[in-house]
Amino acid sequence: MNSSVSALPLPTLSPANEALTLRLPSSLQLKQQLPLTSALTQQVAAHRQAVRAILDGEDPRLLVIVGPCSIHDPESALEYAGKLARLAADVSDEMLLVMRAYVEKPRTTIGWKGLAYDPHLDGSDDMAGGLTLSRQLMREMLLMGLPVATELLQPMAAGYFDDLLSWVAIGARTTESQIHREMASGLGMPVGFKNGTDGGVGVASDAMRSAAHPHRHFGVDSQGHPAIIQTPGNADTHLVLRGGHGGPNYDRASVARVHGDLTRLKIPARIMVDCSHANSAKDPLRQPAVFNDVLEQRLQGDRSLIGMMIESHLFEGCQPLSPSLKYGVSVTDGCLGWDGTEELLRQAAGRLRVKRGIQALA
Query: By three-state DSSP, how is residue 176 classified?
Result: coil
pLDDT of residue 29: 97
- Please report which residue ranges of the chain form alpha helices under DSSP H: 27-33, 38-55, 74-90, 127-143, 155-158, 178-185, 202-211, 252-264, 287-299, 338-361
pLDDT-derived band of residue 7, with 50, 70 and 90 as boundaries?
low
* pLDDT score recorded for residue 3: 46
Across all residues in the chain, what is the average pLDDT?
A: 94
Domain annotation covers residue 262:
yes
**Percentage of residues in the chain with pLDDT exceeding 90?**
90
Residue 180 lies in a domain: yes
Read off the amino acid at residue 316.
Answer: E
Asked if residue 18 belongs to a domain, the reply is: no
Q: Closest Cα partner for 159 from 198, 186, 123?
A: 186
Structural domain including 252 reads: 37-361
What pLDDT, on the 0 to 100 scale, is given for residue 359? Answer: 76
Q: Say if 29 falls within a structural domain.
A: no
Does 93 reside within a domain? Answer: yes
Q: With a cut of 70, say whether residue 12 has pLDDT above it.
A: no
- For residue 81, pLDDT beyond 50: yes
Is residue 2, in this structure, part of any structural domain at all? no
Output phi, psi for 306, to 5 deg. -90, -15
Number of domains in the chain: 1
22 in a structural domain: no
The dihedrals phi and psi of 303, each to the nearest 5 degrees, come to -80, -5
pLDDT digits 0-9 by tens, 120-139: 999 999 999 999 999 999 99
Q: What share of the chain is helix, strand, coil (3-state, %, to 5)?
A: 40, 20, 45
Residue 97, strand partner residues = 64
Confidence (pLDDT) at 8: 54
Cα–Cα distance for residue pair 47/269, rounded to 1 Å: 22
Query: What is the CATH number for 311?
Result: 3.20.20.70
Asked if the structure places residue 337 within a domain, the reply is yes
Cα–Cα distance measured from residue 88 to residue 100, given in angstroms and rounded to the nearest whole number: 13
Instruction: Give yes or no for residue 274 having a pLDDT over 90.
Output: yes
For residue 16, name the pLDDT band (cuts at 50, 70, 90): low
Give burial (CB, 10 Å; 0-12/13-18/19+) of 11.
exposed
Predicted local confidence at residue 316, as pLDDT: 98
Share of the chain above pLDDT 70, in %: 95
Grade residue 106 by pLDDT with cuts at 50, 70 and 90: confident
CA nearest to 214, candidates 235, 230, 191, 190: 230
Report whether pLDDT(32) > 70. yes
Per-residue model confidence as pLDDT tens digits over 148-178: 999 999 999 999 999 999 999 999 999 999 9
H or E element, residue 335: none
Question: From its phi and psi, is residue 233 left (phi > 0), alpha (psi between -120 and 50) or beta?
Answer: left
